[in-house]
Amino acid sequence: MSTDEPESNAIANLLKDEGLVSQEQIVFAQRIRAKLTEEKPLLSVLKELGYVDDQAVQATLEKRRPDVRLGSLLVELGILDPQDLQIAIDLQNQNPDSKAKLGEVLVEHHFIDERALTELLGTQLGFEIIEPKLGDLDQKLLTRTNAAWMLQNEFLPIRAEGDAIVVAFADPMNSSHTKNAEDALGMSVIPAIASRSSILMLISKLESKARPKTQSIDETTVTEIVDLILEAAANQGASDIHIEPMSDRIRIRFRRDGVLIVHEDLPRELIQPLSNRIKIMCEADIAERRRHQDARLLFTMGETEIDMRVSIYVTIHGEKIVLRLLNRTRQVDALSDIGMAPQVLDRFLLDALERPSGVILITGPTGSGKTSTLYSAIHHIMTPEISIITAEEPIEYVIDGIGQCSIDASLGRGFDETLKQIVRQDPDVIVIGEIRDATSAGTAIQAALTGHKVLTTFHTEDTIGGLVRLLNMNIEAFLVSSTVVSVLAQRLLRRVCESCATPYRLTPGDLRRLGYVGNELKGANMRIGRGCIACRHTGYQGRLAIFELLLMDAQIRDAILNRRTAFEIRSLARESSGMLSLLEDGIVKASRGLTTVSEIVRMLPRLDKPRPLEELYRLSGVEE
């Protein structure tokens, strides 16, 4: 197969060489493919035309294994987009000294799942798929080679079959690896396929069994490892650090832009030293290994002090540690800069924040940006003429001019006691970091009844869910309807990387997933990120907020008093006040190229059919 052969034609040409399709059929299929509105691989078109079937394709691939290239296979089977393949090849070529294979790059950068890749190659190329386990390995075969040679060639001898040995390879198409395995084992080899991670894990276990146990791990080394992990997370803008003990290693992952990404793996022997070091830093009980623990950690990096909330969770493999990074010195964004649509922002300012009293709820799941929006709202209403007092756990932003209290039950500053004391501080505005239970909900309602303005956050899926959850906490319907001023729900979606953004044409599948038909999204300028160095080849850089604002007008209050269903209240809000749903706000922002359809589908609830794009622009105040 020539090296300059188009990736999209490679398997089709193999079929032609085997006499299964003609050149005329390939040309006709190419013409049909060019007229399709939805992009399809040439092989799929050949199948749909009835020129070839799956059995013929599989037989050809098995017969012509040496001529099959992984990239061609994935693209022509519709597993990988040609653009993604090119990105992966560029990544592979960025470091000429690296020996990373294309499959490794595709898995490492999440273009394809490793298990799916293994099953695909095994099925299409006719290799036996093996999930190797330590107890299943033939110890006599293992004595014929060594761990270093198996690691270098990524193989494991599984079992003898007659005069040959079944050997699991990470890449059975690599002729050099199969030859080296035959030379080492002294017998012919029957190649099989297993995931690269499972092969490397078992080789590591074989090495650890053969290696004498070290006496101790240097304390300075562990300290340096922990400091490097914390510094790397801070430098990369991570919001969370996950230190996860596993059966064979410690996995370190960072949450960046709302998505967990593997940072590095460490030897399993470091589980206890790492746990002890972090416990010492956050003053947790170092002797306690049977119970979960919560703590706080202050880490100094240069001139910056980073506050971290530490959660230690006992698992079967050891203590899993999650650290939430809270940079208390960061600036509070103005409300006009957090991404609200113009019409939504105007209504939130005029009909919610400027009201003299009542409860303003900001809702969403963990990590949706509720606290940032809460502090932007506080910053907007803060003046020398009013007194603002807070009860928070933890304090994520420090703002001069307001009375902030950090909840600490061990010092007698629990939520219940603090909320009782707040009303005695003559506040105009009360900020409750989070409504957690019926007590905190009741306190917020009672404070609003006595003429205070109350701002708080709440864990619910959407705006209507916030009202329903208050009712389920046994707060009387008349209290909810008379005190709640507004509910603002939000999410954070990944933003398209500006350095590698490219136009994107919606497919029929995209329209169906969003709930549209026909030309209801006419005028949308969708974009996706191709992946580049600036965005670490994810196609995304940074995040943007998506909002849904429910304002309590007379019709909504009456619906709550009459215990109408969540569906009925939502429909009423859409009709009476033109409420823009989370899905619809996401569609508006995706139509302007700020985020992608895949992010909308991944993150936003789809509770109602969205309205046409033209109407959404009108409701949001965004110019077309």
Residues 126-146 have pLDDT tens digits of 888 888 887 778 888 888 888
Length of the chain (residues) = 624
Model confidence pLDDT, tens digit, residues 15-48: 888 888 888 888 898 888 888 766 778 888 888 8
Residue 434 has pLDDT above 90, yes or no: no
Distance CA 157, CA 173 (A): 16
Average pLDDT, integer, range 220-227 = 86
pLDDT the model gives residue 218? 62
Average pLDDT, integer, range 454-464 = 91
DSSP label of 515:
T
Residue 3 has pLDDT above 60, yes or no: no
User: Residue 211 — pLDDT band, cuts 50, 70, 90?
Assistant: low
Q: Which helix (H) or strand (E) holds 13?
A: helix 10-17
Contact in structure between 70 and 7 (CB atoms under 8 Å) = no
Pull the structure tokens for residue 427.
Answer: 């506040």
pLDDT the model gives residue 210? 61
Contact in structure between 598 and 572 (CB atoms under 8 Å) = no
Tokens 């910056």 locate to 304
Average pLDDT, integer, range 610-614 = 92
Angle between helices 219-235 and 271-282 (to 10 degrees): 70
Pull the structure tokens for residue 370.
Answer: 């509720």
Contact in structure between 469 and 460 (CB atoms under 8 Å) = yes
Contact in structure between 101 and 171 (CB atoms under 8 Å) = yes
The closest alpha carbon to 548, from 366, 378, 353, 361, belongs to 361
0.85 exceeded by pTM? no
Tell me if residue 327 falls in helix, strand or coil: coil
* C-alpha of 39 from chain center: 27
Tell me if residue 365 falls in helix, strand or coil: coil
Pull the structure tokens for residue 202.
Answer: 């078992």
Domains, the chain: 7-125 (no CATH), 128-210 (3.30.300.160), 219-326 (3.30.450.90), 335-492+544-583+609-620 (3.40.50.300)
CA angle 349, 354, 360 (to 5 degrees): 80
pLDDT the model gives residue 97? 55
Mean pLDDT of the chain: 85
Angle between helices 10-17 and 23-35 (to 10 degrees): 150
